[in-house]
Each structure stands twice: as C-alpha cells, then as structure tokens.
Structure 1
Amino acid sequence: MPTKTLQIPTADGQADAFAAFPVHGEQHPGVLMYADGFGIRPVLRDMARELAGDGYYVLVPNLFYRHGPAPVIELPEHIGEEARPALFAQLMPLIEAHTADRVLRDADAYLGFLTAQPEVSAGPVAVTGYCIGGLLATRTAAARPGQIAALAAFHGPVGVDGPDTFSKFSAEVHFGHAESDLSPEDLGELNKALDAAGVGYTSEICPGTIHGFTMSDTDAFDAAALQRHWDRLLPLLGRTLTRG
C-alpha cells in the first residue's frame, strides 16, 4: 500500500500529514480523515491503509501542527488509563487553542490539497473523524457542503455546536456513538435535530462501548465495535463517492 508523508501549506504555516492510497495507478475518491486527540500514530496509519485498500485516497493531517510535527506529545505504545491524565494535561491546551476559526481555515487547506493530488479523482470527497476529530469532521461538512458528499464521525462530540449545524449539511451522515458518551434520551434528541434538518443519516449507539472504542492502542478498544464502524463507513462511502 503506497503511503506518503506530506506537508500541506496552510494560512498559518505547514501541516504535516500522512496519506495512503491504492497501489493501482488510476485516480480514486478522496477521504479527509481527522484523527482523535492523540493524533497521527501507528493505529491511525493502519486505519488509513485499511481504508485505502478499499479504493480511497486517505489524507490524515496533524491537527496540532502549530505546536510541532506529529506526534506532538510523546505517546506510549499502549495508551492505558493510567497514562491518560498526564497525556491530557498536555493535550487539553492544544485542543482548547484549536478554535472553530482555526478548524475552518485548516479545512480549506486540507480540502484544497486533497483534491489537487494527482491520485484523487474529481468530485466531492468524504470526511471522517474520531473523538475530537468527529467534531472537526462535522464542522468541515457544515462549512463546505458543496465539497463533502459523506460525513462519518465516531465517538465524537458531534452535537456541541447545536442543531443549526445539521441544517448546513448536504452530505449523507453516519454518527457512531459510544454508550458511555450518549444516553438513549440524548440520542433521541440528536436524531430529532437531524430529522428536522432533513439530513440523510444513520445515528446509533454502539452497545457496550466506551469513548475511543475504535482505537486499538487504548483500553477503550472494542474489536466488534471497530468492525461495526467499518460495516457502516464503507457502504456510506460506496454510496456517495464517485469512482474514477
């Protein structure tokens, strides 16, 4: 599986990024993948490669490039519960500094870069995200509806910007929530807002999961829920993205 380490010019500097794409020479639909707060690391590279193996050019930018190249903070091979408090003490200032204005400036740069790659076919792209990346994916889809055909977010705080965000979507949407993040009542309210916005969507709680369930290098990992994530994501991309 071909991969590249790239530098994306942005309004505020250069964002390092990882890309994976099929070995075949033809063009493929583009997917912008936003990492969780721990950023680009082996598990994200593996997920990008797996998605690329299904026929997509996958771009994973370093969200916190303003603070240095990935990994911005030193990470253990396995992110256990005992390590999380110290890691989040370092990460939270970076997350708090990553304002909505920054998110959208960066999204313009990422989307422009992705669609200009010679391996990427013409037409709309998809955006996916995990944890805080799910929120960034949601903001990107709302701000750039003409460019985004599909939005998928997993264990992310997708509703924090309020229901008006959903009315801006033109993408088909899948939200996969952790059971620890969202009650059935909260899910009902979120889905009512999606209904009111006229969005084509699926939105569900993955049973028995906790926040971060897709990430195999954390204690939250749930192999069955990760497979469910692929079972939702791949058909969504297949329905919405045009093959070259």
Structure 2
Amino acid sequence: MAKQDIQIKTKDGVAKAGLFRPAAASSAKAGVILYMDAFGPRPALDAMAERLAGDGYAVLVPDLFYRFGAYGPFDAKTAFTEEKSKAALMAMVGGTTQEMTISDSGAFLDALAAEGVTGPIGTVGYCMGGARALNAAAVYPDRIKAAASFHGGNLASDAADSPHHKAAAIKARVYIGMAGVDRSFPPEQSTRLAEALRVAEIDHAIENYVGMAHGWCVSDHGVYDAAGAERHWERLTTLFAETLA
C-alpha cells in the first residue's frame, strides 16, 4: 500500500494526515476516515489503515491533536502510567472537543474529495475516536454511509456533545464494538445508546466483546488481543463491504 503524507487546512490551522491508497489507486472511490485513539497517529494505526486500503479503500488517518503542535511519540503501554505523559495526553484529549473534530471532519471529507475519493465514506474510531466517528456520521449524513466505534468511550454520556443526542441525524449503518468491561462506556450508556439508535430507526448493532479490555483492537496496546482484534476486523470489513460498495 502507498502512504502519502498530506496537510489539511482546517478552520483552526493545518492538520497532518496520512492517506493510504490501495495498489490500484485510481479505483478507490470509496474512502474511510480512521479516528485515532488518545495516543495519536503512529505505526500501529498506519498498519490498520494499510489493511483497510488493501480492501480497496482510500484511508485517511488525521492527527486530531494538531492544534497542540509537536507532541509525543507516546508508548500506548505506559503513557497513562507515567505522570508526565499522562498529563500531556489528558490536556490534549480534554482540549480537543467534539465540536472541534466535527468541524475538522468537514475538512477531512473535502481533502478526500480533492484526492478523487468522491464515493461513499465510512468512519471508524477507537477509544476517543469512537464518539467522533459517530458524530461525524450525524453531521455529514450525505457522505458518511457507515460508522463504527471500537472501545469508544462516552458514546451516551450526560454531556451535551454525546453522540447519542445526534442519533436522529444519522443515515449511516452503525456498529458498536464494546469491551467486556469498560468504565468509559458502562452498561447504562450502552442501554441509552441502543435506545437512541432504535428510536431513530438506525440500522445498527452493539456487540459486547466479553473478556476484551479497553484497547484490545490496537496492536501496541498492552491489552491487545489477537483473536479479539481479528473478530473486530471481520465485523468492520463486513460493514464497509455492505455499505461502501
């Protein structure tokens, strides 16, 4: 797969992004935006984007923390156990609001279109990216036809920017893969999200990956689970194959 480093002009500055194309680049009319977890773009996410590109999609992996300038790199296994890196990460996560990413997502879609990716778009997010993938689907329903979240946190919280509040605006098919036990997405939020999607008549599935911990899909996490990750890939690739073709 070919990776192209691009810069995307947004309302607040310039976001760096990796654009991954299949070998037959001209055939990639459908695209995917991969919303990062809290540790930022890095080789583990590049590898995931390459795998999706191998299925024929143009895959964009934007840096959602671009407003903070240079940072990291962070070790996903230790970043939240070391006080200095934890403080830096929490500041960036807290300082990158849902509304910021919603605005940025319009620029991400425009960047894909400028690269010739004019077909349907799928979104997938991990950890903090899960809610952003869903919110993007709600705000840009004419472009985004599938949205997936894996170990996404606060998908149906009490916050005003929680994705479940925008469920009625979604036109995409939605898939939620949740860790077996996850403090960032407890059972009451799962129930609330399911009800919001059902009432909005969204084609959706919420699946509990029993035994998996928050972060199980991404290879450089300490809780990575190879079998669980393959199960996630099966669900994700099926979702995109059925919606983006």
TM-score using structure 2 length:
0.90
Give the match for residue 61 of structure 1. Answer: 62
After the TM superposition, which residues 195-234 of structure 1 pair with which residues of structure 2 at under 5 Å, given as runs?
195-234=198-237
Aligned-partner residue type, residue 5 of structure 1:
D
Q: Distance in 1 between matches of 2:97 and 2:109?
A: 18
**Residue 173, structure 1, aligned to residue 174, structure 2:** yes
Percent identity at matched positions? 38
Question: Could you tell which deviates more after superposition, 97-106 or 208-217?
Answer: 97-106
**Residue 20, structure 1, aligned to residue 17, structure 2:** no
Contact 2:79 2:86 in 1 (8 A): no
Alpha-carbon deviations, 1:29-51, whole Å to 9, x = none?
A: 11011110101011000000011
Shift of 1:205: 1.0
Equivalent of residue 191 in structure 1, options 188, 191, 194: 194
Give the match for residue 35 of structure 1. Answer: 36
Shift of 1:67: 1.1
Shift of 1:99: 1.9
Q: Distance in 1 between matches of 2:27 and 2:121?
A: 13
Alpha-carbon deviations, 1:97-125, whole Å to 9, x = none?
A: 1123311221111111012213x2x3321
Shift of 1:190: 2.6
Equivalent position SS for 2:27:
coil
Alpha-carbon deviations, 1:6-64, whole Å to 9, x = none?
A: 11111111110111111114321110111101010110000000110111100000000
Tell me the number of residue pairs that the alignment of Structure 1 and Structure 2 aligns: 237
Contact 1:30 1:115 in 2 (8 A): no
Contact 1:194 1:201 in 2 (8 A): yes
RMSD: 1.8
Shift of 1:145: 0.8
Aligned-partner residue type, residue 225 of structure 1:
G
Which consecutive segments of 4 or more residues in structure 1 shift more than 2 A? 80-88, 182-190
Shift of 1:135: 1.1
Q: Which runs of 5+ in 1 are unaligned?
A: none
Aligned-partner residue type, residue 72 of structure 2:
I
Equivalent position SS for 1:203:
strand
Alpha-carbon deviations, 1:166-223, whole Å to 9, x = none?
A: 1110000000001121455653343222111100011111110111111111112111
Give the match for residue 141 of structure 1. Answer: 137
Q: 1:224 to 1:46 in 2, by over 3 A?
A: same
Q: Distance in 2 between matches of 1:191 and 1:20?
A: 33
After the TM superposition, which residues 6-17 of structure 1 pair with which residues of structure 2 at under 5 Å, given as runs?
6-17=6-17
Shift of 1:240: 0.8
Shift of 1:80: 3.6
Q: Which runs of 5+ in 2 are unaligned?
A: none
Equivalent position SS for 1:26:
helix
Equivalent position SS for 1:209:
coil
TM-score using structure 1 length:
0.91
Q: Distance in 2 between matches of 1:6 and 1:59?
A: 10
Contact 2:77 2:221 in 1 (8 A): yes
**Residue 159, structure 1, aligned to residue 156, structure 2:** yes
